Amino acid sequence: MGIKVVPLGAGQDVGRSCVIVSIGNKNIMFDCGMHMGYHDERRFPDFSFISKTKQFTKTLDCIIITHFHLDHCGALPYFTEMCGYDGPIYMTLPTKAIVPILLEDYRKISVDRKGETNFFTPQMIKDCMKKVIPIALHQTIKVDDELSIKAYYAGHVLGAAMFYAKVGEESVVYTGDYNMTPDRHLGSAWIDQVRPNLLITETTYATTIRDSKRGRERDFLKRVHECVEKGGKVLIPVFALGRVQELCILIDSYWEQMNLNVPIYFSEGLAEKANFYYKLFITWTNQKIKQTFVKRNMFDFKHIKPFDRHLADAPGPMVLFATPGMLHAGASLEVFKKWAPNELNMTIIPGYCVVGTVGNKLLSNAGGPQMVEIDKKTTLEVKCKIHNLSFSAHADAKGIMQLIKMSQPKNVLLVHGEKEKMRYLSDKISKDFGVPCYFPANGVTVNIESSKLIPIDISSKLLKRQILEYSQANSKQFEDQQQQQQTHQQQQKQDNSDENINNLDPDEQPFKKIRSPITQLPIQGILVAKDYQNLKLLDPSEASSELSINNINLNYILNYKIQTNNKSTTTSAMDGLEILQDRITELLPHDQINRINQSQLVIKNQVVIQFDKVQQQFTIRWSNHHEQLFSDIYKLLEKQFGEQL
User: What sign results for the dihedral spanned by CA atoms 353, 354, 355, 358?
Assistant: negative
Q: Is 161 helix (H, G, I), strand (E, B) or coil?
A: strand
Question: Could you tell me which of 206, 547, 534, 643 has the C-alpha nearest to residue 392?
Answer: 206
**Which among 336, 390, 369 is positioned nearest to 204, based on CA atoms?**
390
The β-bridge partners of 438 are 413
* DSSP-assigned states of every residue in 588-633: S-GGGEEEEETTEEEETTTEEEEEETTTTEEEEEEEGGGHHHHHHH
Q: Is 202 a catalytic residue?
A: yes
Residue type, 130: K
Catalytic residue among 104, 116, 169, 202: 202
Rounded CA-CA distance 284/337 in Å is 36
Q: In terms of Cα–Cα distance, which of 501, 235, 462 is closest to 342?
A: 235
**What is the enclosing helix (H) or strand (E) of 380?**
strand 378-382
Task: List phi, psi (to 5°) of 172.
Answer: -135, 140
The answer to whether the CB of 165 falls within 8 A of the CB of 379 is no
Give one word for 156, left, alpha or beta, with left for phi > 0 and alpha for psi -120 to 50: left
Residue 426 neighbours by CB under 8 Å, 6+ apart: 412, 414, 437, 438, 439
Collect all residues with Cβ–Cβ distance below 8 Å to 115 and sequence separation of at least 6. Answer: none
Distance CA 461, CA 203 (A): 48
Active site residues: 202
